[in-house]
């Protein structure tokens, strides 16, 4: 059987200006798509209304084009899987939520952030505390932890107004082979706990939206920063629960500043906009990647 034609994606969130770290990861995504003779999709991950701004979305497209990115499908050029703005794809996420709920995999969680942090114990570091990227949920709101009446009451709660968690199969080991980092594994209940798939502001979590979209858009390889390596295990569980086959994953090392901190949108001087304004060319910026890995 011939394998499916390569489809990669760039999935920036318009919460600020893109910086050199994004450009480096995206460049790898573009090179891998080109080397495979494939298609590159641009998806605007603009779900978080409180943090995303239309002016950042417009700047994002402009800065990416200036840097030399070319995509074949996206919010500006359309394509067979339109729309490419997550804020216009809510129906898809709602139907994924409904199917997970109907399968009995979800439960509403009434814990506050503080409850969760306290129950997980501090500090939240290392694999035993959820892989370091999110505290391990203690399971307080799991149905079997609740008194009978409360349990019955919660099964009829509406989607809106609650955080909904998916139950992870405690004790099960998950594996995947990252095309950049090699074999990875994690244990449910130790390295990752029940995680939120639907938020109380009635939006899907990042984990659910990204899986629904990568599956619907036929993405064959996800290239992104290593900060999302641990999230991959959660996403693998969602692919399985939604009866979809997962793509390959390729996690790139994060770019660090001179102090060894990872770049973030607050590093204004390293935004593509600011670098362009100082007269730097994309070619000169790229040439540094071969050296220290620093801008």
If one asks whether residue 11 binds ligand GLU (CB under 6 A), the answer comes out as yes
Contacts of 12 (CB under 8 A, 6+ apart): 18, 22, 26, 44, 45, 60, 64
Quick note: the x/- pattern for ligand GLU over 204-243, rule CB under 6 A, is ------x-------------x---x---------------
Nearest to 87, CA basis, from 270, 209, 229, 239: 209
CA distance linking residue 168 with residue 124, whole number of Å: 19
Closer residue to ligand GLU (CB): 194 or 213: 213
User: Which of residues 45 and 63 has its CB atom nearest to ligand GLU in the complex?
Assistant: 45
265 is catalytic: yes
Rule CB under 6 A: say whether 45 interacts with ligand GLU: yes
The smaller minimum CB distance to ligand GLU, of residues 152 and 264, is found at 264
Q: CB neighbours (10 Å) of residue 117?
A: 13
DSSP per-residue letters across 3-31 = PPPPEEEE----SS--BHHHHHHHHHHHH
Owner of token pair 């730097």: 280
Q: CB of residue 48 vs ligand GLU: minimum separation in angstroms?
A: 9
Q: Quote the CA–CA distance of 169 and 277 in Å, as a whole number.
A: 51
Segment interacting with ligand GLU (CB under 6 A) among 10-18, 51-59, 194-202, 238-246 = 10-18
Return all residues near 117 (Cβ < 8 A) that are at least 6 apart: 124, 135
Contact call for residue 63 and ligand GLU (CB under 6 A) = no
Q: Which span sits near ligand GLU by CB under 6 A: 5-13, 112-120, 149-157, 181-189?
A: 5-13
The span from the CA of 79 to the CA of 82, in Å, is: 6
Choosing from 13, 205, 207, 220, the residue that interacts with ligand GLU (CB under 6 A) is 13
List, by residue number, the catalytic residues.
Answer: 265
Using CB under 6 A as the criterion, which residues of the chain lie in contact with ligand GLU when the complex forms? 11-13, 45, 210, 224, 228
């Amino acid at each position: 059987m011939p394998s499916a034609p390569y489809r990669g994606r760039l999935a920036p969130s318009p919460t600020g200006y893109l910086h050199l770290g994004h450009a480096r990861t995206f460049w790898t995504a573009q090179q891998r798509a080109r080397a495979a003779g494939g298609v590159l999709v641009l998806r605007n991950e603009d779900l978080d209304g409180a943090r995303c701004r239309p002016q950042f979305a417009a700047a994002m497209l402009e800065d990416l084009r200036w840097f030399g990115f070319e995509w074949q499908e996206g919010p500006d050029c359309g394509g067979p899987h339109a729309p490419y703005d997550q804020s216009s794809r809510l129906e898809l996420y709602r139907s994924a939520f409904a199917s997970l709920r109907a399968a009995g995999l979800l439960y509403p969680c009434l814990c506050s952030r503080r409850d969760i942090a306290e129950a997980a114990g501090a500090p939240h570091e290392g694999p035993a505390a959820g892989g370091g990227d999110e505290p391990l949920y203690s399971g307080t709101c799991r149905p079997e932890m609740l008194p009978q009446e409360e349990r019955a009451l919660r099964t009829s709660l509406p989607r809106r107004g609650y955080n909904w968690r998916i139950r992870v199969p405690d004790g099960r080991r998950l594996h995947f082979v990252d095309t950049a980092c090699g074999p990875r594994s994690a244990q449910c209940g130790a390295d990752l706990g029940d995680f939120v798939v639907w938020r109380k502001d009635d939006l899907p979590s990042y984990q659910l939206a990204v899986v629904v979209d990568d599956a619907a858009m036929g993405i064959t390889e996800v290239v992104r920063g290593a900060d999302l390596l641990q999230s991959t295990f959660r996403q693998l569980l969602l692919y399985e629960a939604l009866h979809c086959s997962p793509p390959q994953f390729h996690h790139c090392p994060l770019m660090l500043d001179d102090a060894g901190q990872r770049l973030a949108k607050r590093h204004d001087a390293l935004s593509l906009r600011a670098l362009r304004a100082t007269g730097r060319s994309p070619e000169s910026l790229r040439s540094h990647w071969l050296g220290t890995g620093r801008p």
